Amino acid sequence: MLDPHKVQDTQFTARLVNGRVIQPQRELPLLSQCEVLVVGGGPAGVSAAIAARRAGARVTLVERYGHFGGLWTGGLVLLVLGHIVKGGKQVCMGIGEEMMQRLEKLPGGIINRGPGKNPTVDAEALKYVMVEMIEEAGVEVFLHAWGVDAILEGNTVRGAVFESKSGRQAILADVVIDATGDGDIFAAAGAEFEHRTHNVGLVSRIGNLDRIDPSRAPAGNRPKRLGSPTPAPGVNWVNLIGPEVDGLDVRTLTRMEMSHRKFIWRNVQQARQVPGYESLYLVETAPQLGVRITRVLNGVATVRYADLKAGRRFDDVVAVGGSTDGQHGEWQVPYGALVPKKVENVLAAGRCISAEMQMADLVRLIPNCCATGHAAGVAAAVAVKDRCSPRQVEVPKVQKILREQGAYLG
């Protein structure tokens, strides 16, 4: 039975001293200790955690929301772009492809799946698949915990600090993978990065598209912004792109959340006033704001547009990406794009890897995040096994395991 008279100890509570807020120094309780710590449970983080565990490492995955998938599920980014190249060849394979195959086996899990196609997934089915794969792999998980700081010993990352309803706690690890999307951990550790702005939007779903009668609408007055089909019958997903702003500024994020939700609600109500569209309704707005790019690692190597155009191949390739429209060839991610220039024992995965701005809209796509997460997870496991820094891993070992796990490296 819970103690109804419990009073929390306030000796470490922040104090207001001469107009300044001071947080007393304190020892943090240890939540867990592992070999590979993955911070962020989006497509990159989930792929990294599963890959590292399958490669033999003891893995802990920490996610700030109550579900896996990041913007893929919580942001309702349901259309899967970036896994194919010119000619329809699929290049993003491995763990990301395994998720797709599992979705195919679930009723209503995915539509438009096939060679050369860009499928659309169901968010709830995908959440289920990710939980299933994480549990099967044997990954330790903490949800509802936000990574707020790195734990440093010199210039070496030894773990991360988290905030949750349990308070501020620490997790120690041999290698940390930053899959936060925003580079929260490598930035806190002092790694070099670029701070970029991009469009911040919000996705919604609208229902009863199977009950509208466009023939009743006055000429030239049919509603726009009705989106694209999803696996749910009669339900479309609609992408509000939003303005280019700073996705790290809390005031800006608050303003975007509120203004976007008002706009979406009013847009649907306006559409309902058009004859033939009265049955439309707003199913939901995504619980997660569509932040595209914020911090980007300044790594040992960088993914460059010129290399895409030239079809450059790297000896240390660990991932291969595709295009949004199938109009260009595959491009390779060198291992150095995951590795900070100076800070040790941390790797980047997902949209925050080292890439120039021209490549940002490709690097951040879901399949490409899965691919770089897969690579980071295997590299971290190899570093643990060989007792070396991720900077020092033998990339051919990483490539061998990636191929064994189904990844395509060109």
Q: How far apart are CA 150 and CA 238, in angstroms?
A: 37
pLDDT of residue 225: 86
Percent of the chain with pLDDT over 90: 89
Which residues touch 258 (CB under 8 Å, ≥6 apart)? none
The two counts, helices (H) then strands (E), for the chain are 9, 21
pLDDT of residue 115: 87
In tens, the pLDDT along 302-316 reads 999 999 999 999 999
pTM for this one? 0.95
Per-residue CA distances from 404 to 132, 338, 381 (Å): 21, 21, 14
Q: Average pLDDT for residues 371-375, to the nearest whole number?
A: 99
Listed in order, strand segments (DSSP E) in 180-316 are: 193-195, 198-207, 228-229, 236-240, 244-245, 281-285, 290-291, 295-297
pLDDT at 88 over 90: no
Q: What are the extents of the domains in the chain?
A: 30-196+293-404, 198-291
The end-to-end CA distance of the chain, in Å, is 59
The answer to whether 57 and 294 have CB atoms below 8 angstroms apart is: no
pLDDT at 4 over 70: no
Q: How confident is the model at residue 86 (pLDDT cuts 50, 70, 90)?
A: confident
For the chain, the maximum distance between any two Cα atoms, rounded to a whole number of angstroms, is: 70
DSSP state at residue 16: E
Q: How far apart are CA 143 and CA 31, in angstroms?
A: 13
Tokens of 201: 């939007």
Q: How far apart are CA 401 and CA 410, in angstroms?
A: 15
The answer to whether 37 and 160 have CB atoms below 8 angstroms apart is: yes
Tokens of 133: 């794969």
pLDDT of residue 1: 56
Identify the bridge partners of residue 140 per DSSP, sorted by sequence position.
60
CATH topology (fold) of 30-196+293-404: FAD/NAD(P)-binding domain (3.50.50)
pLDDT at 164 over 90: yes
Mean pLDDT over each residue of the chain, to the nearest integer = 96
Q: How far apart are CA 345 and CA 362, in angstroms?
A: 26
In tens, the pLDDT along 384-402 reads 999 999 999 999 999 999 9
In tens, the pLDDT along 135-156 reads 999 999 999 999 999 999 999 9
The answer to whether 41 and 62 have CB atoms below 8 angstroms apart is: yes
pLDDT of residue 12: 86
Would you tell me how many other CB atoms lie within 10 Å of the CB of residue 40? 29
Three-class secondary structure of residue 183 per DSSP: coil
